[in-house]
Amino acid sequence: MLAPASTISALLDRALSGKDLTPQEGVLLLQQKDPAVIQQIQQAADELRRSLVGETVTYVVNRNINFTNICEQHCGFCAFRRDEGDEDAYWLSHQQILEKAGDGVTQGITEICMQGGLHLGAKIEGRSLPYYVKLAETLHETFPAVHLHAFSPQEIQFIARGDGLSYAAVIAALKGAGVQSMPGTAAEVLNDAVRRVLCPEKIDTATWLEIVETAHRLGMPTTSTMLSGHIETPEQQIEHLEHLRSLQQCAQAQGNIGITEFILLPYIGQDAPKPLRKKVGHDQPILQDALHLTAVARLFLGQWIKNHQPSWVKLGLDGATEALRWGCNDLGGTLMEEHITSMAGAQGGTCMTVAQLQGAIASLNRPWHQRNTLYEHLHLP
């Protein structure tokens, strides 16, 4: 629904004054098509970013490790998963994982980001948790100074379900083994009608929320993500953002860090399974839509989630740099290796040097600063 410019201006002023937008207001912002109104939204998101977190754009030096592509599920957008026995199925040994992490450490990483497929082979005597605990312990004991950011809510449920444990027991065990924060992935769109099409075997919305809320309660921060630009409607996008906002309100009321950042992950379908590709009708992100949603997410999440990151893997470095003008204040990590999105046909690359990230930020005449996983600025020699 198009709205008069005065309505949009009043709504943007409210967001800039620190008030929370209602879901109806969020949807209204997403429905705007007039380029002049979209520009107004972009400017407001940029201004809110400036007032909440300043001009500095941050980045993290990290190494991504996807330890297996063998997965029991079949998400509609996933070109990464393989069955055991497939020619290009892999499952890294602890030694191989340590070598990758060690290579990252020599390049100055402060974070290892690790996720993998849901591999039943991880079970030892009918239990998966010992495999995951050993993996985390091995990395943490070898590289104690490196922050271990690992295991999605879907992986937590996979372990809990297989081993007959509570989510809290699994998260506490992983925390004890050295996991310091969790990726807020597997969220896709937090709406069960969308999930039934996109990822019918994955945890439902309530389970995702329960696991992330449990993590926060146990003092385990998470990130938050949204897979956008496929079959979802503006109403469903805002419903997703509202879930994240409520989670964060709850975490902060309990004195926990909760969600450290919001990352928008636009859909890539080039090499994804055909059925969903046919429904979606495009293979690469539509940059303008992603930017519009980036700005509305900044305005809707307001003071609750202050750090917003575009995905250079999805948008390419140029697209991600442009998103820094639409409400984002972080350019993500160096990654050094990425499989999940690149195998779906993303053209953004799988590795970024610090110089590339700094150069992109400098091209906007904004200062840059290296951060750690929890968004503390680092002062390295």
Residues that bind ligand SF4 (CB under 6 A): 71, 73-75, 78, 80-81, 117-118, 154, 199
Q: Among residues 154 and 373, whose Cβ is nearest to ligand SF4?
A: 154
Q: Among residues 56 and 350, whose Cβ is nearest to ligand SF4?
A: 350
Torsion from C-alpha of 309, 314, 319, 320, nearest 10 degrees: 20
Q: Which residues contact 146 (CB under 8 A, 6 or more apart)?
A: 101, 104, 105, 109, 110, 111, 112, 139
In angstroms, give the least distance from the CB of 225 to ligand SF4.
12
Q: Among residues 158 and 312, whose Cβ is nearest to ligand SF4?
A: 158
* Residues comprising the chain, all counted: 381
In angstroms, give the least distance from the CB of 72 to ligand SF4.
7
In angstroms, give the least distance from the CB of 184 to ligand SF4.
14
Question: CA separation (Å) from 2 to 7, 25, 32, 37?
Answer: 10, 12, 6, 10
In angstroms, give the least distance from the CB of 39 to ligand SF4.
35
Contact 261, 226 (CB under 8 A): no
Q: Among residues 52 and 71, whose Cβ is nearest to ligand SF4?
A: 71
In angstroms, give the least distance from the CB of 73 to ligand SF4.
4
Q: Where are the alpha helices (DSSP H) in the chain?
A: 5-16, 23-31, 35-53, 94-106, 129-142, 153-163, 167-176, 192-198, 205-217, 234-253, 274-280, 287-301, 312-323, 354-362
In angstroms, give the least distance from the CB of 40 to ligand SF4.
36
Q: Among residues 267 and 368, whose Cβ is nearest to ligand SF4?
A: 267
SS3 117: coil
CA atoms within 13 A on the CB side of 90: 12
Q: Among residues 71 and 136, whose Cβ is nearest to ligand SF4?
A: 71
